[in-house]
């Protein structure tokens, strides 16, 4: 079986859990005899291609004289807007000033230029202020990729709203079934203050798809209730975790203080402010604790100011965004890992912490809570309960050891090979349904 897969990032160049999940998934699919051509807007050349062939969309030439081939109404309906970093899934805004000025002079939309169809689009592959431009261009290139690979794939798989239009365009060109993967909905990112354009893209992608894969039952329920997608069309496949050979090799520590870690985007969705408030309560009981906030995001300045006002700045450390070996080293240095997310469709980071023998505390409002028994679970807003959980794990070594050892045993059974086998069954189902039409 061969899959044409559209993503937005692929290790080692990632900004969050989406790229990590895509990599684990492609490895698992490979071991289930599924060949994957993984398309990203911008590839760097150092991606691990042992389990998937990475296609760089920036290298694809779309040789059309006008918009056609499956993407015409997509770009026609797109309104390019600047997007606040609150809405953007991951990192800080990136400007496209030169590109915008080029077309502002003529008053044309970028797809109305004949010349542009005779050259390659240059994608940043980032989550910038004019993200919608890249989403639309990606759909156009996806149509070309589907034409170039005609007859060499059986199903299309698109990850998150950024690639849904690409998936739709590829389906129109090829006639192959489309599976879309929902890793996080707009309600997860923005609460009730949803970006209506992103919501519309999410809904359009899921309506056009033959199946929707949700990363948790929590996400599945949101898809059904908030987007009106038929329940029989939505399948839950929980994420997994990939182990590395040195996962439990502990680095040397230069201090005796306990270390409590938050690792993730410092945004509303991840609940960093609750972590800070709980830290202040813990430090009143146990002063010999250090709190680490690893990540970046639009709430960074707010959190730093709050830490200062609480008078705990000398016990708080901000590392900035971490990736790869730095993430693994941070987990191995930690005594407790905390994920107080307001809304977390799944949450791979607790699994990564558990594989490093670290006890974890997670919010009940997370998809990963559905698959973990040996994690302490609290409501994200209950700062007192969160503080008590942290205190319990650092003050009672036997409790900490029990959750660490049982957690490691539990997470060992959450394998990407098994998750990929379920995804393969989804592929087989939509392919068979198409044959029977």
Q: How many CB atoms are closer than 10 A to CB 95? A: 12
Q: Do residues 380 and 274 make contact, with C-beta atoms less than 8 angstroms apart?
A: yes
**pLDDT tens column, 287-304:** 999 999 999 999 999 999
Looking at residue 11, its pLDDT comes to 87
Q: Left if phi > 0, otherwise alpha if psi is -120 to 50, otherwise beta: which for 169?
A: alpha
The values of phi and psi at residue 261, to 5°, are -120, 135
Q: What is the pTM of this model?
A: 0.84
**pLDDT tens column, 311-334:** 999 999 999 989 888 998 999 999
Residue 251 reports pLDDT greater than 60: yes
H/E segment holding residue 305: helix 300-309
Structural domains of the chain, ranges and CATH numbers in brackets: 2-240+417-432 (3.40.50.2000), 258-412 (3.40.50.2000)
DSSP 176-215: --EEEEES--HHHHHTTS--HHHHHHHHHHHHH-SEEEES
Residue 199: exposure state from Cβ atoms within 10 A (0-12, 13-18, ≥19): middle
Q: Do residues 343 and 215 make contact, with C-beta atoms less than 8 angstroms apart?
A: no
Burial call 281-298: b when 16+ CB within 10 Å, e when fewer? bbbeeeeebbbbbbbbbb
**pLDDT tens column, 382-429:** 999 999 999 999 999 999 999 999 999 999 999 999 999 999 999 999
Name the most confidently modeled range: 26-35, 60-69, 96-105: 26-35
């Amino acid at each position: 079986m061969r899959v044409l897969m559209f993503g937005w990032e692929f290790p080692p160049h990632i900004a969050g859990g989406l790229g990590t999940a895509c990599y684990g998934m492609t490895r698992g699919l490979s071991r289930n005899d599924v060949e994957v051509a993984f398309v990203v807007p911008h590839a760097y050349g150092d991606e691990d291609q042992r389990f998937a062939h990475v296609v760089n969309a920036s290298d694809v030439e779309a040789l059309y004289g006008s918009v056609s081939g499956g993407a015409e109404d997509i770009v026609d309906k797109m309104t390019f807007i600047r997007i606040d970093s609150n809405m953007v899934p991951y990192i800080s805004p990136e400007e496209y000033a030169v590109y915008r000025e080029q077309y502002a002079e003529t008053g044309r939309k970028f797809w109305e230029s004949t010349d542009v169809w005779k050259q390659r689009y240059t994608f940043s592959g980032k989550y910038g202020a004019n993200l919608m431009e890249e989403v639309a261009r990606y759909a156009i290139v996806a149509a070309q990729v589907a034409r170039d690979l005609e007859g060499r794939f059986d199903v299309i798989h698109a990850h998150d709203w950024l690639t849904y239009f690409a998936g739709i365009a590829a389906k129109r060109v090829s006639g192959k079934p489309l599976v879309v993967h929902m890793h996080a909905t707009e309600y997860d990112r923005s609460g009730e203050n949803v970006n209506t354009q992103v919501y519309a893209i999410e809904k359009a992608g899921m309506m056009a798809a033959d199946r929707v894969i949700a990363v948790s039952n929590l996400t599945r329920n949101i898809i059904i209730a908030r987007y009106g997608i038929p329940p029989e069309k939505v399948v839950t496949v929980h994420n997994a975790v990939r182990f590395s050979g040195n996962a439990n090799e502990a680095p040397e520590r230069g201090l005796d203080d306990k270390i409590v870690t938050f690792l993730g985007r410092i945004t509303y969705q991840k609940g960093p402010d609750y972590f800070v408030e709980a830290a202040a309560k813990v430090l009143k009981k146990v002063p010999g604790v250090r709190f680490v906030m690893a990540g970046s995001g639009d709430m960074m300045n707010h959190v730093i100011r709050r830490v200062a006002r609480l008078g705990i700045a000398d016990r708080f450390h901000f590392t900035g965004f971490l990736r790869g070996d730095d993430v693994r080293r941070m987990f191995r240095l930690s005594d407790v890992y905390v994920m107080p997310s307001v809304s977390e469709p799944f949450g791979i980071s607790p699994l990564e912490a558990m594989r490093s023998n670290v006890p974890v505390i997670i919010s009940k409002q997370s998809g990963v809570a559905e698959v973990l028994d040996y994690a302490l679970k609290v409501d994200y807003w209950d700062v007192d309960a969160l503080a008590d959980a942290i205190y319990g794990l650092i003050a009672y070594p036997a409790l900490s050891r029990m959750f660490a050892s049982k957690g490691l045993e539990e997470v060992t059974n959450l394998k990407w090979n098994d998750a990929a086998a379920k995804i393969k069954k989804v592929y087989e189902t939509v392919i068979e349904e198409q044959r029977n039409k």
